[in-house]
Structure 1
Amino acid sequence: MTSQAAPGQACPAHNGRMPLYGPEFAADPAATYRALREHGPVAPVELAPGVHANLVVGYAAALDVLRNPSAFPRDPRRWQAKMPPDCPVLPMMMYRPNCLFTDGAHHARLRAAVTDSLARVDPNALRGQVEQTADVLIARFAGNGEADLLGEYAKLLPLMMFNHLYGCPPELGHRLLAAMSAIFDMVDPEQANADLTHCMLELIALKRQRPDHDMPSWMMAHPARLTDEELIHQLILLMGAGTEPEQNLIANGIRLLLADDRFAGDLSGGSMPVEEALDEVLWTDPPMANYSASYPVEDTDFAGVRLPSAEPVVISFSAANNDPALAAQQRSGNRAHLAWSAGVHACPAQQQARLIASVAMEKILDALPDMRLAVPVDDLVWRPGPFHRALTELPVRFTPVAVPVQPDESPGEPRWNVQPTPSSSTPQAVTSTPSPRPSPPEGRQPWWRSLVRFLRGR
């Protein structure tokens, strides 16, 4: 596959830059990363036709960038102003007032509302809800003897978890789930986008009136005093980042467990193979392979490369994790990988994301102990795109199992945190200062037009 990557590196049509798109890159990104390392720890790439960037492929260099936000800020607006409106990567990289695209005091204020609220999620309650949700999904296909674990399990479980994490009443929760699923599936995306916007505004109005033990209520009550617009952007960011990458982590972990001889013989041995598989995936095939773009304040010499001002510097979490300089390190139990990023912009929900993935994997393995891939592992197809590491489907077969169909909603289910953990910056009581009701959806739709493209990430 290296020979396939090399022409892209030298092709005049790409101005000497390696493309990070197309089926060849999706099928074997490691070959592209190997070719890029010939340039050193930073290499010129194309994120899409004509969209230039520099990709950091060295582990030490990636840490240097991630830990130096003053030299490598996240605000993309100078670069964004030069991009055409139909730039295919713009939806994933354009500015939004959330903690991903901000720096300094603004970032600290938004992030505090997120991290302090996440800290109040009881891990035991979270585990119980993942188990209950997994039971509901597994019961739907356990008697069939076959399933697409991506579409029928790994994709739906994170979406359903956010229903509970956000404290959605059943009717609103089902609508929110349907809208988000339609966006990812590209089913009438404009209507799905409008539906999601309406659901979020309705959820905020509900939580203003009746705050509860859930993420929106905690973020509203936070001393950061988020505006409705800021609150919506944080909630959408959490849901978008916690669904697509999470489904890829679950699916890629199950794929590894079923296909790799190091794990296949030990699946009946408890949770240890699952934890080891997660470590392996986060090192070798992180669900977000290339992201965390920053934009140098001025032309900068870094790692032997001249980085133009405001041109994206993208971190390759996958290439950096697999830097040959780290070859001697033991990976089992080693969590020094960059799959969650690093520095002030490191993923604030990594503990919750890992717990959800590990429980989801344990539940499916326990329920279907003889599960196996329905096709050779090399026949699995990866979705193209510069940012994610995502399968198109994960077909499996197994002995049909009679599992009682579980109800989607259980009356009186436990709250996320019946006794909220005190936080230094979050009041213990869930209260909210009354504020005007959000504007009707019609007034908000124009600035949400990009949401469908952002969440699709294709």
Structure 2
Amino acid sequence: MDAQTGSTPLSPPPGCPMHQQPQQPTPLYGDDFAIDPYGTYDRLREHGPTAPVELAPGVDATLVIQHEAALRVLQNPALFVRDSRRWRALNEGRVPLDSPVLPMMYYRPNCLFSDGAEHLRLRKAVTDSLAKLNTSRLTRDVERIADYLIDQFSERGSADLLREYAKLLPMLLFNQLFGCPADIGDRMTRGIAGIFDGDDAVRANEELTAALLELVALKRRSPGEDVTTWLVQHHAGLTDEELKDQLVTMMAAGIEPQSSLICSAILLLLDGKTAAGHGRGAGMLVEEALDTVLWNNPPLANYATHFPVQDILLDNVTLHAGDPVVISFAAANADPSLTDARLTLSKGAHLAFGAGPHSCPAKSPARVIALTAIERILNALPDLTLAVPAEKLEWRPGPFHRAMLSMPVHFSPVPARRLPARTTAPQARPAEPGTPAPTGRAEPQRKQKGWWSSFLDVFRV
């Protein structure tokens, strides 16, 4: 006991390894981490279940890399909260306001950054709305969008599967699920793409926010059979600002990670080296590929930022109140202590969808979307192959995601099954990835169609 305070000291006794020099934060950004994140996790693991990291220049955090320790944080909302208004360094002005990680960490009035009764209210509105989705209808929607996108490149015999398929499919699907008319949907697609691609994140965020608020106002006036209407009508009584931020959260969680899940599973099916050492001859099913990716290469590798409400000792490491604690789903899934346990754990025991009160509420729809999208393109292009060796594929730098920069593929050209009848594919623009280059005479006075309005011209949904 401390003679003056009467409390038990947190410092270890002399000779303990904890008396070693404080470990320097490891950067989780840049090409080195993007190329070999699991090598970084292994090095961090040598120091224990947690490690100090730098998410971006000037943004420090503690990364939880052990499976059991991750569950202790995720399942203890009384001690670890999600409300980033507690972020001590940000409140003290020690976090650069132009930091690239700030949009993923600062507070929004949604279920991701709330706790307690407020979290339950907001999450209930989301889960009840998602529960109204019909699986058969969702599958049909994915199939129609997949066929439309495949038609845009099937006759070429080559494509960038990320930018021309996996990234666009969830964007268009959310326009469908949210009940977007053509103009609002085009603006949403541009805004989302601009935020993810980083062309002009501020402008893109403003465009997305304006489009979503307009959509909310529209659904208040003219309800439909869509997720936006169900949120608007929910008994939780969400304000327009809350509605907008629930929709933003659903898109952020459902577009970027979904596109990475689709690409990583296809990569595994085409290359197969991380599974059986050879390609599709191994006979791996799409469901198996999805489970393997979620265990071994989760698209959202590090996130679920928590903030201790007080100084907490976690396995002999002091986590200070208000300092961000980030869960490494990727490292926790690869925890060596699970080597034997994983043989008996269920296929869904991975942490790719989180755990505890903030676990992903859309696990089932996410699997349906990915499964349908992958099966659709493999059936349409049965001899699909990588255009470059798998080890030559580039991965996008960043602390949170595990995402490719591109995924070039080859295949035998196939006639388009349902080309647009009233319009050509939308013209290329920086904010809409994978769009074909413009052809023909320019029409400067005519407003360019986006992907969503072009899709609506074909299907009139």
Instruction: Give the alignment partner of residue 278 of structure 1, picking from 263, 267, 290.
Output: 290
Contact kept? 1:279, 1:331, Cα under 8 Å: no
Contact kept? 2:272, 2:280, Cα under 8 Å: no
Identify unmatched segments of 5+ residues in structure 1.
Answer: 1-11, 414-458
**What residue number does 1:49 align with?**
57
1:291 aligns with 2:303: yes
Counterparts of 1:85 and 1:51, CA distance in 2? 10
Shift of 1:306: 1.0
1:398 aligns with 2:414: no
Q: Which structure is richer in relative contact order (CA contacts within 8 A, separation 6 or more)? A: 1
Shift of 1:84: 3.3
Query: What is the letter of the counterpart of residue 265 of structure 1?
Result: R
Tell me: CA distance 1:17–1:197, structure 2 relative to 1, closer, same or farther (3 Å).
Answer: closer
Q: Percent identity?
A: 53
**What residue number does 1:373 align with?**
386
Query: What is the letter of the counterpart of residue 39 of structure 2?
Result: A
Contact kept? 2:254, 2:366, Cα under 8 Å: yes
Shift of 1:176: 2.1
Contact kept? 2:269, 2:280, Cα under 8 Å: no
Contact kept? 2:58, 2:96, Cα under 8 Å: no
Counterparts of 2:327 and 2:225, CA distance in 1? 36
**What residue number does 1:172 align with?**
184
Counterparts of 1:65 and 1:165, CA distance in 2? 33
Instruction: Give the alignment partner of residue 335 of structure 1, picking from 348, 353, 356.
Output: 348
Contact kept? 2:23, 2:52, Cα under 8 Å: no
Shift of 1:331: 8.6
The SS at the match of 2:80 is coil
Shift of 1:254: 1.0
Q: How well do the aligned residues superpose, as a CA RMSD in angstroms?
A: 1.9
**What residue number does 2:357 align with?**
344
Counterparts of 1:133 and 1:77, CA distance in 2? 39
Instruction: Give the alignment partner of residue 69 of structure 1, picking from 77, 83, 94.
Output: 77
Report the more deviating stretch, 144-153 or 171-180.
171-180
Shift of 1:171: 3.3
Shift of 1:183: 3.0
Counterparts of 1:85 and 1:96, CA distance in 2? 16
The SS at the match of 2:81 is coil
For residues 387-421 of structure 1, what are the alpha-carbon distances to aligned partners after superposition, in whole Å with 9 as ceiling and x for unaligned?
A: 000000000011111122344235564xxxxxxxx
Counterparts of 1:330 and 1:286, CA distance in 2? 19
Identify unmatched segments of 5+ residues in structure 2.
Answer: 1-20, 421-454
**What residue number does 1:23 align with?**
31
* Number of matched pairs: 398
Instruction: Give the alignment partner of residue 122 of structure 2, picking from 82, 98, 110.
Output: 110
Tell me: CA distance 1:286–1:96, structure 2 relative to 1, closer, same or farther (3 Å).
Answer: same
Tell me: CA distance 1:193–1:51, structure 2 relative to 1, closer, same or farther (3 Å).
Answer: closer
Tell me: CA distance 1:266–1:122, structure 2 relative to 1, closer, same or farther (3 Å).
Answer: farther
Instruction: Give the alignment partner of residue 324 of structure 1, picking from 333, 336, 344.
Output: 336
Contact kept? 1:280, 1:332, Cα under 8 Å: no
Counterparts of 1:309 and 1:37, CA distance in 2? 23
Contact kept? 1:280, 1:331, Cα under 8 Å: no
Counterparts of 2:96 and 2:188, CA distance in 1? 31
Contact kept? 2:304, 2:326, Cα under 8 Å: yes
Shift of 1:66: 0.3
TM-score by length of 1: 0.83
1:141 aligns with 2:153: yes
The SS at the match of 1:125 is helix
TM-score by length of 2: 0.83
Shift of 1:106: 0.4
Query: What is the letter of the counterpart of residue 27 of structure 1?
Result: I
The SS at the match of 2:46 is helix
User: Which entry has the higher C-alpha Rg, 1 or 2?
Assistant: 2
The SS at the match of 2:214 is helix
